[in-house]
Amino acid sequence: MSGHSKWKTIQHKKNAKDAKRGKIFMKLAKDIFLAAKTGGGDPEMNASLRLAVEKAKAANMPNDNISRAIKKATGNLDGVTYEEITYEGYGPGGVAVIVEVLTDNKNRSASEIRHAFSKNGGNLGETGCVGFMFEKKGVITILASDTIDEEELMLDAIDAGADELETEEEGFVILTSPEAFSDVKNALQEKGYSIEEAEVTNIPQTTTTLSDEDQAKMDRLIDMLENNDDVQDIYHNLEEE
């Protein structure tokens, strides 16, 4: 991943989401709904639900909204059934793109995602066409601070089960397997580290650069996808500047 900053990728995603709080809450509620629907409504017994609730609280989602999403899932109050779908394709200039969707109408979602790709110089592909270019990892970011000793942090992270620690100008990026993610995050919090961002995500193994024209098309594609209420996450291997 030479020249590619995981920190910038994470911050770019975070900043884009922070600008659309209403849509964030809707998507977080869907995450909570699906986790509770498939694994039960007790966060202590359901790791996926616990993570979804933690993300919602980190985004300052009201507790009433969180509770309502869990109750809908466990009590089936409105009869809505959401389905997880992953779309893969190529953006302009051959950029690899993965789009994760949570929808109550897969035909509508498929049509809208395909339209977004085709309108902006890309094309939707078959399942697996770009997935091999990414690795699913737990990513924990901690802001740089005079009180943090890099060597001590590295030892604490590895002792908790992390795979590696990378130092960047803004702070530290800790990588874990998806299975070890929660244990590492909880252990670091118990050690007193203030975590800026934590999520299980797809990390591109190689990156692509674009011409100015294709970059503009890629920006429009991402905007269209982010404005789609069914889209939960977007991953790509475009080199971040």
Name the 3-class secondary structure at 123: strand
pLDDT of residue 58: 85
pTM: 0.75
Q: What domains are there in the chain, each with its CATH number?
A: 6-75 (1.10.10.200), 83-132+207-236 (3.30.70.980), 134-204 (3.30.70.980)
In DSSP terms, 84 is beta-bridged to: 102
Query: Pick the residue with more confidence: 212 or 7?
Result: 212
Query: Pick the residue with more confidence: 16 or 144?
Result: 144
| pLDDT tens profile 49-87 | 888 898 888 888 889 888 888 887 776 556 667 788 999
Query: Pick the residue with more confidence: 211 or 5?
Result: 211
Percent of the chain with pLDDT over 90: 51
pLDDT band at 16 (very low <50, low <70, confident <90, very high): very low
Give the helix ranges, DSSP H, for the chain: 6-18, 21-39, 47-58, 63-75, 106-119, 150-160, 181-190, 212-226
Phi and psi dihedrals of 90, rounded to 5? -120, 130
C-alpha atoms less than 13 angstroms from C-alpha of 119 in its C-beta half-sphere: 13
